[in-house]
Amino acid sequence: MRLQHRFDGPSAAPVLVLSNSLGTDLELWSANVTGWSSSFRVLRYDHKGHGGSDAPPGPYTIESLAGDVLALLDGAGVERASFCGLSLGGAVGMWLAANAPERIDRLVLACTAARFGDPASWHERADVVRRQGIDAIADAHLGRWFTRAFAEREPAVVAEFRERLVATPREGYAGCCEALAGWDFRERLGEVQAPTLVIAGADDPATPPERAALLVDPIPNAKLVILPDAAHLANVGQPAAFSQSVLDHIALQEAA
C-alpha cells in the first residue's frame, strides 16, 4: 500500500515524523515545518484513506495505521525517529512508543487521548459518512478544530481545511473512525517509555485539557503544555507556540 509522504530538511539530520488527525492530510503541518526543518529531517505522511495515500476498504485499526508508519520508516531506511502525532496521530504515536520502543526517540502527543469516547458514536459517524458523505459532518468538525476567534480572523484557512476534509475518501474516513472506536490504551500508558510532551488546546472541545492531563501521570517522564486560545488543531491555531514547544522537547534529545 502506498502512503503519500514528504521529507523536508537536511538528509543527515535526525528524523521527526508528523502524524495527522482524522480528516486532514500532510498539509496540516504547513505552518510548523519551517520552524523544524532547519534542525530535523521532517517526515510528513497521509494516513491510509487520507490525502494522497491509498484507501483500502475499512475498518482500520490503530495497530494497522502504526504498522504503515513502521513500513514507511523501513522503506526510507530510518531506524529511529522522534514522533509528533495530533489526535488520531497521537494514538498512533502511543502504540508505536509502547510496541516498537526501539524506533521512537522522543514523543509528542497533541490534542489526543487514550480513549476517544463512546465507540458507538464513532461507528455511527462512519455509517453517516459512508451513506451521506463527509459534507454531512464537515461543519461540526470545523467547530471543534478552530476557535470562533480564529475562524473570524482566518476564514481562508478554515475554508481550505474544509475543502481538504470533504475531499477525504469516504471509506478512508470511515475506516479511521472505526480505528478510533476500537482504541482504548488507558491500561497500557505505563508502557510508553519515550520522553513525552503532551500538548492540549485550552479551548479544545474534542480532547480538552483535563483529558490530556490523564495521559501525563501514567506515562513516565511526561509533561503537559496547554496552549491558550487554541482548539483541536492547536498547531494551526497557535503555530508559533506549538512549534516552539515541540522544538524545545525534541531538541533535548540532541543535547543529551
> For 42, left (φ over 0), alpha (ψ -120 to 50), or beta?
beta
Is residue 242 within 8 Å of residue 199, measured between CB atoms? Answer: yes
Residue 1 pLDDT: 79
C-alpha 184, offset from chain centre: 16
C-alpha 3, offset from chain centre: 15
Contacts of 193 (CB under 8 A, 6+ apart): 97, 101, 220, 221
Residue 58 pLDDT: 87
Amino acid in the structure at residue 125 = R
Residue 256 pLDDT: 47
- H or E element, residue 7: strand 5-8
Per-residue pLDDT of the chain (256 residues; tens, 9 = 90+): 799 999 999 999 999 999 999 999 999 999 999 999 999 999 999 999 999 999 999 899 999 999 999 999 999 999 999 999 999 999 999 999 999 999 999 999 999 999 999 999 999 999 999 999 999 999 999 999 999 999 999 999 999 999 999 999 999 999 999 999 999 999 999 999 999 999 999 999 999 999 999 999 999 989 999 999 999 999 999 999 999 999 999 986 554 4
Domains of the chain, CATH where assigned: 5-255 (3.40.50.1820)
List b or e across 30-67, with b for residues whose CB sees 16 or more CB atoms inside 10 angstroms: ebbbebbbebbbbbbbbbbbbbebebeebbbbbebbbb
Residue 52 pLDDT: 96
Q: What is the spatial distance between Cα 137 and Cα 222, in angstroms, rounded to a whole number?
A: 34
Is residue 168 within 8 Å of residue 26, measured between CB atoms? Answer: no
Q: What is the spatial distance between Cα 177 and Cα 116, in angstroms, rounded to a whole number?
A: 10
Residue 252 pLDDT: 65
Amino acid in the structure at residue 193 = Q
Amino acid in the structure at residue 153 = R
- Please give the model's pTM, rounded to 2 decimal places: 0.96
C-alpha 20, offset from chain centre: 4
Long-range contacts of 96-104 (CB under 8 A, 24+ apart): 96/66, 96/69, 96/70, 97/191, 97/192, 97/193, 97/194, 97/196, 98/185, 98/188, 98/191, 98/192, 99/63, 99/66, 100/66, 100/70, 101/193, 101/194, 103/70, 103/73, 103/79, 104/80, 104/194
First-to-last C-alpha distance (Å) of the chain = 37
Residue 39 cell numbers, joined: 534542525
